[in-house]
A = this chain, B = another copy of it.
């Protein structure tokens, strides 16, 4: 059976807006909240070149699948601006430059599909522009509009996801989440934390547990900071505690984000997500994935072929620059894992909630999106 939930009533967007602006396009460049400095420092940096944007994505100053999609789109705006400012006049040369910078940006992180999706949207816009007789100024203007649109649509999609997801959370329920799929990871509202925000706006007795999410501690560093900014109470636990919380009856609902979802519903997300899904299944606790359609990669039949980034082993070997393991050992540092669709209660998107039988239910969401 493949079904798409059709909420009987309009999704209410009585959701808390987030105060957090992870990235903003300005006349000077892109203002990025440097997420590597949180929670100790709230520092904004201005990115002015596509190379600097690629570096910011690679070093995780900006991270989270939807956010790096938007960052990639803005990176191409910076490329187009550069072309204009250095006196470029040929649209075909602009196209060559954008393609080169697209490759650069695309290579920064392999797992999240939103990056290549957003870059693809930008290149499609360029192709459409090239079919007309446009000036470079006009090209820059249209590419800027497209990038801003991707950003605004992401915020809107997250709010809609939040609205759908909030209705699944029981009154006074306890929500557990992993990593940071929040305002910081998106255009500014969040997928999993969009559900949390919307649920809390409806019912301020809901509670939130955040997994710290080793090795990079996005749950500890980012999710707790983000939720306290928006005055939503949160309790932090280590990754190994989730199963015992569930066993003690302390969790009612699990929601996580996604970096790439295959056509069959298999979901790549931050390492540790699969562990959580196994525990949720064993305790019969609903386990939801919240993600915009741009995270779904229909070209992949299953999660088996999702590329999994292996990151620098210093992320495991050291914390805050101090070695926490013996010399002369090996490390293994996959950044993501794949949760099989069987473990996922539903995928909450901006077009509704896909339920098991994902091949059909996910396709139905895309048909609604047309």
Given A39-B323, A221-B324, A241-B334: A316 touches B234 (CB 8 Å cut-off): no
The distance in angstroms between the C-alpha atoms of A282 and B320, with both chains bound, is 35
Within 8 Å CB of A273, what residues of B?
240
Choice from B39, B239, B271 contacting A214 with Cβ under 8 Å: B239
Min C-beta distance of A145 to chain B, whole Å: 36
- Contact mask for chain A residues 322-337; partner B; CB cutoff 8 A; 1 contact, 0 none: 1111111111111001
Min C-beta distance of A98 to chain B, whole Å: 36
The count of chain A contact residues (Cβ–Cβ below 8 Å) is 56
Choice from B243, B316, B323, B329 contacting A238 with Cβ under 8 Å: B316
Answer whether residue A272 sits at the interface, using C-beta atoms and an 8 A cutoff.
yes
Answer whether residue A129 sits at the interface, using C-beta atoms and an 8 A cutoff.
no
Within 8 Å CB of A322, what residues of B?
40, 320
Within 8 Å CB of A39, what residues of B?
323-327
Copies in the complex: 2
Min C-beta distance of A41 to chain B, whole Å: 11
Would you call B214 and A238 a contact (CB within 8 A)?
A: yes
Would you call A330 and B220 a contact (CB within 8 A)?
A: no
Answer whether residue A278 sits at the interface, using C-beta atoms and an 8 A cutoff.
yes
Within 8 Å CB of A217, what residues of B?
324
Would you call B243 and A278 a contact (CB within 8 A)?
A: yes
Answer whether residue A213 sits at the interface, using C-beta atoms and an 8 A cutoff.
yes
Choice from B212, B225, B320, B334 contacting A244 with Cβ under 8 Å: B334
